[in-house]
Amino acid sequence: MSVSLIAPISLIMFVVTIVVGIKKRVNLGILATAMAFVLGLFVMVEGGAMAAPELKGAPITSLFPFSIFWMTLSVSLMLNVGSVNGTFDLVIKKVVRLARGRRALIPIYVFLVMFVACSVGAGSTGVMVLLSTIAATIAKDQKIDPVFMLLAVLSGSTVAIGSPVAVIGIICNGLSEQLWGEAIAPSYMYLHGAAMAVLSFAVIYLLFRGWKLESWPVSKAEEAPRLSKKQILTLLGFLVFIVLAMGLNFDMGLIAFLVTAVLLLLGCAEEKQVIADAPWSSILMICGMCMLIGVVQAAGGIDLLTGLMSHMMNRYTVKPLYSILGSVLAMVSSITGVVLPTMIPTIPGIAAQTGADPYALVTSLAFGANITCASPISALGAVALGIMGTNPEWDSNKLFKRMFVYSFVLMGVAAVWAAIGVAG
């Protein structure tokens, strides 16, 4: 096949893969791996086509992102122990109780809990759903706007872009190491991501006039139960992980498996549930999409896309446009499986042409994508809507419209932070 044709065809096949996967509800990673093989039959490398029998598919299988797979699986298993045995649930309830009836403080505490949880890696979809469920329960009990509480959770989760043990941070690090030879989380992305998360929550708090929530008397029945022995051991295990992996620079994956093994041996959680709750679907999606992106890149598709995008961007517009692009794509596709693996490889070329800081572009893209997960047409937003919709007091149609509107508001907020330099 002509070299001039294979680049646009590779991009078309990539888009078709995403559309078919979403329409047919088939895991994008499985489809992407299959499409990588088909496309590889026509993409030439040294020795022949990438999928040629004589090369035994090695040029394609070598694209498997082992480091991302390793980190995502190991850290997820460890954090699942805390999710399964109720540690995360109980901790956030205890923190909320600190408000002692001062309802204006509750959204702030929920934000801070999510902020800290995602900083140490507890930003998986399972944990997000768990904390969204808790936030919805608190909203019902305390008569607080459920959308306000949901946005408090989701804005706190955006700091995960700069955490080296959160799935998003792991992916950003894995791709940045391939492109620039160094990890950018937490060294670069954490402080910028944290600043944007705090500023975004401040905007949310102002929009919902959180300070006007009146205080209520505290009931003794509201006291949360004490941490069990298993939950205390789980928290100690997480502390050991932070000290060894983040303080002493041991391999995070190995330490995560060590902590998981010890906690399971101590009976802190049911092993089958811990393994079953691992984000297998996301892992498949991430790995498959990374392989397909690698083949598209070899076909010249990424260079073609970069060239097309460069005509719409300059030094001043590139960061907010990357933020908006991430937001729009994240509304209809996976952040970790589609948005980041697809868009980050376009950044080196765009950064070179516009003179922008490539790390700032990664941060803008990742934050813009993460902040709009409140959209009810996104996977997490749809789940959150379903959680809130179980309360007959809340109109699901109105919740849908409000969540949709606020997702665009937050898209604009993220673009502003990128434009004025908060992203770097």
Mind listing the pLDDT tens digit for each residue in 91-134?
767 766 777 778 888 899 888 888 888 887 665 555 666 676 67
User: Average of pLDDT values for 13-36?
Assistant: 86
pLDDT of residue 122: 62
Distances (CA, A) of 55 to 3, 41, 62, 212, 336: 20, 11, 12, 67, 30
Mind listing the pLDDT tens digit for each residue in 329-353?
887 667 877 788 888 988 988 888 8
> Among candidates 178, 90, 161, which has minimal Cα distance to 121?
161
Report, in this order, helix, strand and coil percent for the chain, each rounded to 5: 75, 0, 25
Neighbours of 202 (CB within 10 A): 15
CB 268 within 8 A of CB 228: no
Share of the chain above pLDDT 70, in %: 88
- Asked whether residue 176 carries a pLDDT value surpassing 90, the answer given is no
- Asked whether residue 221 carries a pLDDT value surpassing 80, the answer given is no
| SS3 at position 39 | helix
pLDDT of residue 349: 86
Share of the chain above pLDDT 90, in %: 18
pTM of the complete model: 0.72
- Asked whether residue 392 carries a pLDDT value surpassing 80, the answer given is no
Q: What CA–CA distance (Å, rounded) separates 120 from 218?
A: 31
Alpha helices in 42-166 (DSSP H): 58-61, 66-84, 87-97, 106-119, 125-142, 146-157
- Provide DSSP, 239-308: HHHIIIIIIS---HHHHHHHHHHHHHHTTSS-HHHHHHTS-HHHHHHHHHHHHHHHHHHHTTHHHHHHHH
User: Average of pLDDT values for 391-399?
Assistant: 73
